[in-house]
Each structure stands twice: as C-alpha cells, then as structure tokens.
Structure 1
C-alpha cells in the first residue's frame, strides 16, 4: 500500500508540476497568452468583461496598423505594443483588473500615437518597402547603411533616449544588414561640450549602449555589435553653438568587414 501511494504521489508531481514555457519564453509569470476565453451567454457581466472587450479592440487596432505597414516603419513601437497586449492578457487571467485597466489606457495612447506617426509618413519616401530598392553593388549598399546609421539629430540634451526619427533609420539599416553578414558594427558614443568629463563619458556610453539595444531589437545579433565611448573628446564639429552641440550629441557607427576588417566610411565624413 505504501508503494502504491508513493507511485501516485510521484505521478501527481510529474504530471502537475512539469509544465514550463519553451526556452527563451521567460518564467511562468511571463507565459504568453494569445487570447482570452469567450464570455458565455449564461455568465453574468462584470467589469472584467468590459476590459476583455477593450483588449480585443486594442488587438484589432494593432493588427490593422501592422497590415498598414507599422511593423516595417516603426518596428520598436510595434514590438512594445505586442508585449503590452500579452501583459494585459496575463493581468486579466490573474484577476488584476485595475492593473489591466491602467495598461489599457497606456496601450490606447500608444496605438493612437503609432497611427498618427504612420499617417504622417504614408505617401512619403521616409518608409518604403526595402525590396524595391536595387543597389548596384554590396559597396553601394554599405554606403547607404552607413548614411542611415550616422544621420544627424540623434539625441536630446543630457539624454540617451533615441530620437524617434533616428530610431526609424536604425530599423531600416538593420533590415538592410540582415543579408550582409560579412559586416559587424562598432558603435562609439559621443557627447557635447557641456558637462564634466566623467558625466559626458558616462552619457556617451549610455547612448552607445542604447543604440546597441535597439539594433538587437531590430534583429542584429549581439556578436556583431561592439561598443565604446569617448565623451566630448572627439566632436564632429568644433564650437558651442546650439546647432553644433546638437550635431555632436551622437553615436558614430562604423561598418567593419569581418574578413579584412576594412572600415566602410562615408565619403567626406569620418
């Protein structure tokens, strides 16, 4: 009898406590729910059902934006919006209705902003399908990528938050880099002349790491990315005028060919 009870207990432990998410999906608290259970006709309506309806509206809104090109033009925002959708589902499944309500407000605001940004660039050449671009050679494509990675107006004063326009350039460059696996990226952070040496060194490193983070989000593997920082010691332009300091708040990114370690440098800039 004792052996039978032991076997039953062992079977319960094996069947009831051995379910885990797939590798890379996080712990049990981060398990991804793709949908919510439907409301049955006999089930009394409660506040949580209204939240479920709001979640479905947000999910449909996000799906429409993706179909209109939001994932190509603003991939980082779409990724964050999808993660928020999953988070709200977990909150509703766990009975955290107040948390879900607050996150739904944030999600609606995010989707409205994403829709406005998408409307603003539709019909322009800011975000086009990359497949229609015909480059004459790999070198031409590398120069194009270099220009995207090293565009101006990247950061605000005393901030390492990436300017949304520059984030779009990073996303486009990352998409082009997917097929150019022979190139790695070396990211150097910079700061303007305002601030102490120590502060500017830390700020420039934070900027470089933030750009590295977004490039990883956009699909560039960490092994292809390296980071350094020089503070305000290597300005692109000399001077203290506001427009000069804006230009010097930047990262400079070099394309390094892995077989020859040649740097692809845009003509006229270093």
Structure 2
C-alpha cells in the first residue's frame, strides 16, 4: 500500500473512530496536545454532550495532522525541512487554540494550514519527479540549521508591524528585520517568502495593493540590511486569510502584517529550482 492510499484509509478509520467517541484523555501531567505534536489527541465527545462546531474543527485538525504525516513519510522533512518545522508548529498552535476554546482563531489557522500543506505537497511532488530527497545534513549540523530557522521565523512573524493605511514598517519591527538579516547573512542557503496582508477596512483592490506594498517594503529593508534580493520572494493576499476575525482596533492592527516563510532547502539543485 502506498503512502497516499494509506492516508485515505487512515482518514476513513478516523471518521469512524471520532463518531464512536473512542479517543482517550492524555496521560496525567503530560499537558496533552499543547505539549507534544506527534502523539497528541483530544478528549472524547461524551454521550450526553451536544455536538458543536468545535468537534468539526478537531476533526479538521486531525486531517491536517494526517496530511502532514504523509508528506513527512514521502520525504518532505529532507526536501523542505523549514516548511515541515513551521507546519508542525502551526499544528501545535491550532491545538492550543482548540484546547482554549478559541474556535474562530483555530478555524482561521486551519484554513492557512491547509493551503500551506497543499502548496508543500505540490512542491514535493515536483521535486520527487526530478530527484530523491535525502537528509541534507546530519546530527548537530541539521539541528543547528533548524534552530536558526526557528529563530528567524519567530523574529519575523510578530504582531504590530504596520500602521493603519500605511506600508511603512513600525520601528520595533524594523529592528527585527535588521536582526534577521544579520543572522541570514551567515546562512546563505536560507531564503524567505514574504506575503503581505491587509485588514478588511478598505476595498478589495486597494487592500491587494497595500498588502503587496507591505511585502515589497519588507523586502526593501531586508535588502538595505544586507540580504541579497534574490533570496526574498514577495506575494500578496490582500484581506484574505486574516490572522483573526473581527473589527476591533487590536484585531485590525494584527491583520495589517506580512507573514514570512523561512525556506531552508539545501540538499539538491532540483529542490532549489522548484521554488
């Protein structure tokens, strides 16, 4: 049985599993899914508990976990180690949101996660048609690279990046860009994909334009701080895929942002050409 057929079988089994409400509680003291992606699971739906939207979100979370696991089995962790690392972190974030009852936040992140996993699958299929992915590094070297990826990712994906109706970078975020650029200059195999976002207060065409401007402005400053322009690609989603739903000033501030993927695909020329 190939991996994708196995995933379909697992999804079928999972559907029956959830409908029968047979999932188990995490062991006492482990912290459940918020602590451990690989073995995490949710509390069962009790017989007298009415079904609500959270149960569908839990199911969607599990499907995304199965999708990610299948990509890892096909070699994604070696072809695109940074993308896999960030997908695993996103799974943990969604799990924490579900455990905390943040249904809207979880739903938004699940949509984003699905898109990222679909993109990763397309990239992986392309690469595997051209080459075989193998571990690019071993032991401490690989661990060190992943620590750099995590550090840069968390530096660049923070809140409060842009003011209302502006593409100008806030001073604090400017410091994050400078620090990230200095780190990346020491790691030439790492690249960035910068996607601009806008809040929902303007028209669709305007929001697309300002989101694109934000992504380009971030690229401009990273270049000023010494990063080669060829290592940065830019995209725009306008008001689509907001980080949070709502129209409060705090929510709008958070949705005026760029999201940045850190790409560390070192192992083959075919991989680099696929991006």
Specify the TM-score bucket, using the shorter chain as the normaliser: 0.3 to 0.5
Larger Rg belongs to: 1
